[in-house]
Amino acid sequence: MNPRSLFGIVACAILGLAISSSAVLGQDVPKDNDLPTGDCDGDCCPPCCCPRWTASADFILMDRIGSFNQTLVETVPKSQSPSDPGTEMLNANDLQPGFSGGPRLGLIRHGDSGYDLELSYFQIDGWNSYRSIGPTPDYWLVMKAPGGFLQTQDDKDKQMMAWNYASRLYNAELNVRWNPCTRITMLAGFRWIHLSEELQGKLPPERSVPFWDTNVRNNLYGFQIGAVGKLFERGRFSIDGVVKAGIFDNDAKETTGVSIYRTVYQESASTNHAAFLGETGLQCKYQVTQKLLLKVGYEAMWLQGVALAPAQIQETLSHIQTPVGVQALGIDSGSGVFYHGATAGLEYSF
């Protein structure tokens, strides 16, 4: 399924659940007798008993979906020239790293007039995918790029052609939260997102130095708006929904090293590009004590307008004749990537 379509379906499902639960949201929720109740309830919350801070710690496990349609390895019969058209054996879309996890920390300072200040941070830096082709005694393994660049094995009977694709995501947010009622929280604030990737092509086992090495860095700075709503509450158990969206300036940079005649030549390029982020999720919470709760959930996030490493191959022009070298034609920063997965953690108010 297209990530954009999946994001829209999940967002619509949350909104539909909120509308269908309107009768429940308007009712008083019975409290368990063994939970301390105090006077901190509803909109009339005296400063003496309401928590001033809420700290949270989660573990997030997310799948990364999205790449660029770029051929990485072709096979050409050894009876032909390696420069002849070949059969695709590996595409960048085949390098899907799957799930990876990381920590997320949050801190909320509660105000007296319905306004709160929220700071949160998370990182996932373990996405990695490795694929190798060969050895193929009857075929050349070939990687081609603009400008006549062509990489084959040094020894077609023994060597493989391998590609490694790594990706990392870092996120920080500073939001002002407004609580117009007890079950709805509106938010607006600043968000920074860092997406970095590296794509390497190698010829193992003899050659360990990459013949192709692309690094990209996306730094997104911008503002977002969103809402958090309590969709269901019964005793100690509740379900919250969240929707966020923002427009960002993406400061994108790429650097590529290409090995030509066993010498590595480098090029680099940068640009600023508009980017979009959409995020949605559900959280199930269980109140252990008045101050401590457990939570698990599902979240999805879509980034559009970012530079991915495989997309830069077509932006790298190789000069295999004198003068030998590489040249950046530009930087492709129009790709999209989708993240989704589970979260689990603790929340403590004091």
CA angle, 320 as apex, 133 and 89 as ends, to 5°?
20
| Cα Rg of the chain (Å, integer) | 25
Count the neighbouring beta carbons within 10 Å of the beta carbon of residue 45.
18
Q: Which residue has the tokens 């996405």?
A: 127
Q: How many domains does the chain have?
A: 1
What DSSP designation does 43 have? Answer: T
Tokens (6 digits) for 168: 């990392």
**Residue 226 is part of a domain; what is its CATH number?**
2.40.160.20
Cβ-contact 6, 338 below 8 angstroms: yes
pLDDT surpassing 60 at residue 341: yes
Residue percentage of the chain with pLDDT more than 90: 77
Q: Mean of the pLDDT values across residues 239-249?
A: 98
Chain-centroid distance of CA 142 in Å reads 31
pLDDT of residue 103: 98
pLDDT of residue 49: 63
Q: Read off the pLDDT of each residue in 77-84 and give the average, rounded to a whole number.
A: 94
Q: Are 270 and 255 in contact (CB under 8 A)?
A: no
CA-CA distance, 223 to 248, in Å (whole number)? 7
Pairwise CA distance, residues 65 & 2, whole Å = 10
DSSP 122-134: EEEEEEEEEEEE-
CB 159 within 8 A of CB 204: yes
Containing domain of residue 106, as a range? 3-349
Please tell me the distance from the alpha carbon of residue 67 to that of residue 100, in angstroms, as a whole number: 16
- Alpha carbon of residue 103 to chain centroid: 14
pLDDT digits (tens, 9 = 90+) for 117-145: 999 999 999 999 999 999 998 999 999 99
pLDDT of residue 244: 98
Nearest to 173 by CA among 198, 195, 194, 190: 190
Q: What is the pLDDT of residues 278-301, one digit of tens each?
A: 999 999 999 999 999 999 999 999
Other CB atoms within 10 A of residue 272 CB: 11
Backbone angles phi, psi at 307, to 5 degrees: -95, 125
Does pLDDT of 20 surpass 50?
no
Angle, vertex CA 282, rays to CA 276 and CA 283, nearest 5 = 130
CA separation for the pair 106, 118 (Å, rounded): 7
pLDDT band at 39 (very low <50, low <70, confident <90, very high): very low
The candidate with the shortest Cα–Cα distance to 191, out of 225, 216, 158, 232, is 225
For residue 50, the Cα-to-chain-centroid distance in whole angstroms is 35
303 versus 31: the higher-pLDDT residue is 303
Tens digit of each residue's pLDDT (9 = 90 or more) over 153-208: 887 778 899 999 999 999 999 999 999 988 999 999 999 999 999 999 999 987 88
More confident residue, 205 or 339: 339
pLDDT at 61: 98
| pLDDT at res. 114 | 87
